[in-house]
Chain A
């Protein structure tokens, strides 16, 4: 349990709260999707930092990698889905 890593982890966790406002209040659907992607990337970084907080980076780095991949797949799938309904209501 290193104190600097705990401080960095808390800071990133606070930063995750800011895009959450855009997810809740975003004027269009695309704003929500892109803010959710931002939360996902920051979450993957937070997981990597948490690995150093608990001293078990060999376990947490796998979780962070999978989280980044799933975040990417979710964003791409949403983008392809939204592309099909042209001229639809946003």
Chain B
């Protein structure tokens, strides 16, 4: 049991390291949400799960499992709320090689292309 707990804790430490490096190295906010929403959640869950296995059958183990469940539910939710706030206040996503057109003009262009395609298919029929 101790060996299993150690394996889980060290796997969790690896994912915590990945999230810490990711939030420094990734280029913009929307990519950094991946480091927070996924790596950090899995890492924290693995560490807490390893500690719960090490602790054995006690009341503290139930609380540790409760904390594991809480982190699994809450960490992606909080990340999602912040990402939604960012996209609603018009934070522009990063593109490789610099941005050529704004989001609004890109949306307009995509809608125009879709409309012209529909018109073409209507003419053929």
Q: A-side interface residues toward B, CB under 8 Å?
A: 4, 8, 11-12, 15-16, 18-19, 21-22, 28, 30-31, 33-35, 37-38, 41-42, 44-45, 48-49, 51-52, 57-58, 61-62, 64-65, 68-69, 72, 75-76, 78-80, 82-83, 85-88, 90
Contact = CB atoms under 8 A, between A and B. Distances in A.
Contacts of B75: 37, 41, 72
Given A4-B6, A15-B16, A49-B47, A82 B89 contact: yes
Give the dominant DSSP class at B's interface.
Answer: helix
Interface in B23-76: 23-24, 29, 32-33, 35-36, 40, 43-44, 47-48, 51, 54-55, 58-60, 63-64, 66-67, 70-71, 74-75
A72 B36 CA distance: 13
User: Chain B interface residue count: which class?
Assistant: 35 or more
A30 B82 contact: yes
B84 interface: yes
19 contacts: A8-B9, A8-B13, A15-B17, A22-B23, A28-B86, A30-B82, A41-B44, A41-B71, A45-B47, A48-B48, A52-B51, A58-B59, A68-B67, A68-B74, A75-B78, A76-B78, A80-B85, A86-B88, A86-B89
Contacts of B33: 34
B84 A83 contact: yes
B66 A65 contact: yes
A30 B60 contact: no
Interface of B: 6, 9, 13, 16-17, 19-21, 23-24, 29, 32-33, 35-36, 40, 43-44, 47-48, 51, 54-55, 58-60, 63-64, 66-67, 70-71, 74-75, 77-79, 81-86, 88-91
